[in-house]
Structure 1
């Protein structure tokens, strides 16, 4: 079992905000993450969640995942979270979540080990970068502790600015961050084809921007997730390519700063 205990501070003219990163220790910790997910995905983004528990985002993958939390060290409030599904747990879920959106035949045929992150979200008042950076420091520590070769997952591009904006973002991703054809994933529901008519600045989503800084590759065209009103791109990260300098900006000594005294077998 991996135990994360990473700390960092956010500069402030009034008082530094102390942050900690840790794995959920019990069901209540998981529920705190699920409440934050509901706030971000349902209340803020308008996602249609198929969950009977009011104010919660819960699905069939949650019981089989490790839930990584970033907290305000003083109040304990959860400011960011992601869930991690290890490859050995996939037999219990029937596949990775990403496989519900993408054909991963070219990805999963290799003999390397994988883990998937998902449902990553950050409290709307704390999206300047520090919380995202702390999440990534914890993720990198988890990868190292478990000797996972590749991280994968879906990164979302909101459709509230229109499909043209998504296509403009994709044009930039194809130019700078695309994986080779041998590492392509194929969407099960593609965005409608259209000529990119977006004018003006491209607003790259904060989470996707952080993913790119860490070193992920974008593995093809996006999947259209109607329930969440987003275009999801499949991303892949080789553990050897993690941008440690970016992580150390938030956590001293990252990614090894996390307490990795109990690595998984």
Structure 2
């Protein structure tokens, strides 16, 4: 498996505070079958500032340590860019590090509002050959209140990356309901851990994939897994046929491990 969103790097943000926890998190991921992790420290989200050169340096150090310890995990550079929709555009993206140095950029939207310029921002990214991946849309309040708002941005070319812990119910019922609605409607293209530690926010990727396969069948989880591989190879991600239904999901009957 490939984890395309993980706060693994130490002393960068609200992830691990030291190398020991970082290596333990990597070992935990490896035990679940994860072989590649894209490290995505927060950037432009106060008080965190993690420009590409800093991320590359720490990623390089991790991979050296992992090789010495015979840890079967490779970390790639990435970033979770907090997107406020600032203008001018070229200054707003200063310090952007794409996922695995590909053409995919992981954007985190403000929790309670969608930037008014976001539709135009997506067009600006496309014009520069970049694809936008929206991080944890199921935790973005406007999408929780109306998932069809997410669908409108997918029609503009954006991709959606779901958090494993949202499917398993560890971010609350409202987030879980939104996550399953998005998944069932085919509005999800990637599944990632968004792990921060080994306690309150561990890597639940294996459990989420198993849960999704049990509830949705193999087709969508397989799509998410293959899309992670395509992303690392800088290939175009595949989409399920869009479904524009607004119907509710019987998420309260979903089996939680």
The interval holding the TM-score normalised by the smaller chain is under 0.3
Give TM-score scaled by structure 2 length: 0.27
Higher relative contact order (CA 8 A, sep 6+): 1
- Higher relative strand content: 1
- Higher relative helix content: 2
